[in-house]
Amino acid sequence: QVHLVESGGGSVQSGGSLRLSCVVSGFTVTDYSMGWFRHVLGGEREGVAGINRDGTTTYVDSVKGRFTVSQDNAKHTLYLQMNNLQPEDTAMYYCAIDPQAYIGVPAGRISPSGYWGQGTQVTVSS
């Protein structure tokens, strides 16, 4: 059974940093693309950063140069290092996996065969 469990969210001031973690289990990592998505209540879900099955990374324009996605296969963990956080980064952040070759960044969607974590809240105050 597939499990994705996020952690690391919290409240920070503008300019601060957070590192999100997503511990994954129940699947073969190399068979999936993986990524981070965010959603603000009342808004559209957005793909933030991801790692495609070929190992390439992808980012939404608004976080390029500030966020870094990485994975540690030995620890079965996907990370999102977020630096220079801004109030507009405030959202619920979800990790997701998708058997498709390319993760849905910035589209914000995964295939019906994909899986979502439960989310972790990030709040950035000015």
pLDDT, tens digit only, all 126 positions of the chain: 999 999 999 999 999 999 999 999 998 888 999 999 999 989 999 999 999 999 999 999 999 999 999 999 888 999 999 999 999 999 999 999 999 999 999 999 999 999 999 999 999 999
Sign of the torsion angle spanned by Cα atoms 68, 45, 120, 78 = negative
- d(CA 96, CA 76) in angstroms, rounded, equals 13
The CA–CA distances, whole Å, from 69 to 19, 23, 41 equal 10, 14, 24
Torsions phi, psi of 106, nearest 5?
-90, 10
Tokens 């980012």 belong to which residue?
59
